[in-house]
């Protein structure tokens, strides 16, 4: 990584829906498998959206609360994972617009760059290395490294410790409500770049800023923290 500038805030990114365009693909897998597991398409999206930004464990809790304690979540989760990777291996996982450019610019400009994703670290590494983005991050925390998932602040607190930065001196770049809540609870500066979930009044109250895409956020950073 490039030499960091301690006068600049840190940038800590979520991965799914922010760096990689994975959320659409996961939702596609849910719909592909819904009938096999007795799930109804008309109420599938609200349940799926409630899980965005959380770990597999918390997703299981949400699904069992909605579909019943006997819902075979572990089997469903493994099936979704196999289907996801089969599609990803064939079609690839798109990088979100502006992500490569923002990460390259921020590294050159001396920002400390972290990643705090509910995805397991082995998957994070595989997916980011496949897109030649893994080297862009100074510190990475995966969902399997923490006890409590977003919306709890644990993962962002861990990421700030890993970068040796006070939470108030770090932006958290998120697309999900749970991620924004986690960053706010950690005392950071939450930034929302919407993906599947639109901004709400709650998000506007919690966020330092809401940007239509990462290119717009990069423009904000360049204006606020000129070289």
Residue 142's beta-bridge partner residues? 117
Token pair, residue 134, equals: 């893994």
Q: Please list the active-site residues.
A: 14, 16
Closest CA to 155 of 115, 207, 126: 115
CA distance 197 to 47: 13
Residue 116's beta-bridge partner residues? 141
Closest CA to 44 of 81, 82, 71, 11: 71
Q: Largest Cα–Cα distance in the chain?
A: 56
Residue 49: burial class (beta carbons within 10 Å; 0-12, 13-18, 19+): middle
CA angle, 198 then 26 then 85, to 5°: 150
Closest CA to 89 of 133, 55, 130, 40: 130
């Amino acid at each position: 990584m490039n030499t960091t500038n301690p006068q600049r805030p840190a940038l800590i990114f979520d991965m799914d829906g922010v760096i990689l365009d994975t959320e659409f693909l996961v939702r596609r897998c849910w719909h592909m498998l819904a009938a096999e597991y007795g799930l109804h398409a008309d109420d599938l999206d609200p349940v799926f959206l409630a899980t965005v930004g959380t770990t597999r464990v918390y997703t299981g809790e949400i699904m069992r609360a909605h579909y019943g304690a006997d819902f075979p979540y572990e089997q469903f989760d493994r099936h979704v994972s196999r289907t996801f990777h089969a599609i990803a291996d064939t079609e690839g996982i798109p990088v979100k617009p502006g992500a490569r450019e923002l990460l390259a610019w921020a590294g050159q400009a001396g920002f400390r760059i972290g990643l705090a994703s509910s995805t397991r670290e082995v998957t994070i590494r595989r997916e980011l290395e496949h897109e030649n983005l893994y080297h862009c991050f100074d510190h990475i925390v995966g969902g399997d490294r923490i006890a409590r998932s977003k919306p709890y602040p644990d993962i962002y607190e861990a990421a700030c410790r890993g970068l040796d930065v006070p939470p108030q001196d770090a932006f958290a770049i998120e697309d999900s409500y749970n991620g924004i809540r986690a960053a706010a609870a950690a005392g950071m500066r939450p930034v929302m770049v919407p993906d599947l979930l639109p901004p709400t009044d709650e998000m506007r109250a919690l966020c330092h800023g809401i940007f239509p895409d990462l290119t717009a956020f990069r423009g904000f950073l360049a204006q606020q923290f000129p070289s």
